[in-house]
Amino acid sequence: MTLDLRWSTDIVTFFNPTYWDLPADLPYPEWEKRVDVDPKPFFDRMLDGAATAGLSGIELAPAPGGWVNALNSYGSAAAFKKELDARNLVLSSSYALPVHLKAVLDAPDESAKKAARQQLHDDTAAHAEFLREVGCPTLITSTIPRAEFSEIEGVDAPSADFDAPTDPELMGEVAEELNGIGNVVSQSGLHLAIHTDAYSLASRTADIDALMAQTDSARVKLCIDAGHIALDGGDPLAVARGHADRAPVLHWKDCAVHLPPHTLSGPPMVRHDEMIKYFRVMGSGGVVDWREWTRILKSKQWSGWGVAEIDMSIDPLREIREGIEYYDRELSTL
């Protein structure tokens, strides 16, 4: 038995400045500004790269590679779809950062919460409508960190904060908001999928179990990222066993070793730059047991999108191909 699997990549794979002949140490905000000035040449080359790598699809990323700049590049969802069609690509999925979700959860009073929720739902509805026109069924987002990171570079956060059980009341509130977002995207004929961001409320097995139990299975799905779960010291195999049947998109990414969350410090992009040093292309040496992962998926007769990605790859075409070739060579016939 072979998996009914199509390969995509998240275009964050193409975000390394050196791929664009820019300085390797270019800060992320500066890279984002450069793309925002005229995103079309960047999108053209990223789409061309995905096609050259032999992929069937792409996943839109956070800014500057998100749906807003796709729209800015081509003028309409229909025009963007034509660009995909011309390269024999489809849009597998599209990711939105949980910025507006966090604003709802952090709101100081009911009035502020209501306004933040309206903003969340309005932005989600616009994103979902764009995806409907392109023919993409899955809008991906994340939850919030399970504890507060240290904003002071070089100063650890308390490890106990990250290791403590999640507050059930908070988990219930997050699930309620995700159900609300799921309802919004369903009005465009889509479903929501929660990405298993490392160190979030959807990374550790018990948290994912609780979140899935409290959300609508028809409207709120899961995007299982093996590398992110492993980076947080979790068990991607357990998550696949428990929830692969609710995961239309899987990120096939590895990591070298568990990175304790409390040791990450500084502004968000500084922490992100440290995290991505630990990610690995599947098959290149990491902690995920890909053979067992594949056996689990086959036993469940899973079908869907496999996202072969590596954040800000120094050689995206080579690394995308390496991961897929490893699957074809070592895993496809298990």
215-268 confidence digits (pLDDT tens)? 999 999 999 999 999 999 999 999 999 999 999 999 999 999 999 999 999 999
Amino acid present at 10: D
Query: What whole-number distance in Å separates Cα of residue 212 and Cα of residue 194?
Result: 10
On whether the CB atoms of residues 59 and 92 are closer than 8 A, the answer is: yes
Query: In residues, how long is the chain?
Result: 334
Q: Rounded to whole angstroms, what are the CA distances from 190 to 90, 116, 245, 305?
A: 15, 22, 17, 15
Q: Rounded to whole angstroms, what are the CA distances from 229 to 15, 73, 205?
A: 22, 33, 9
Tell me the two tokens of residue 213.
């139990």
Q: Determine what percent of the chain is predicted with pLDDT higher than 90.
A: 99
pTM over 0.95: yes
Render 17-53 in DSSP notation, one character per residue. GGGGT--TT--HHHHHHHHHH-HHHHHHHHHHHHHHT
Rounded average pLDDT over 31-44: 96
| Residue 253: count of CB within 10 angstroms of its CB | 27
pLDDT at 1: 73
Rounded average pLDDT over 43-66: 97
Distant-in-sequence, close-in-space partners of 140: CB < 8 Å, separation ≥ 6: 59, 93, 94, 95, 96, 192, 193, 194, 195, 223, 249
| Residue 166: count of CB within 10 angstroms of its CB | 16
In CATH, what is the architecture of 4-331?
Answer: Alpha-Beta Barrel (3.20)
Tell me the two tokens of residue 138.
């899955």
Query: What whole-number distance in Å separates Cα of residue 301 and Cα of residue 298?
Result: 5
256-308 confidence digits (pLDDT tens)? 999 999 999 999 989 999 999 999 999 999 999 999 999 999 999 999 999 99
Query: What whole-number distance in Å separates Cα of residue 176 and Cα of residue 192?
Result: 13
Residue ranges covered by each domain of the chain: 4-331
Residue 2: band (very low, low, confident or very high) from pLDDT cuts 50, 70, 90: confident
Relative orientation angle of helices 205-213 and 236-243, to the nearest 10 degrees: 20
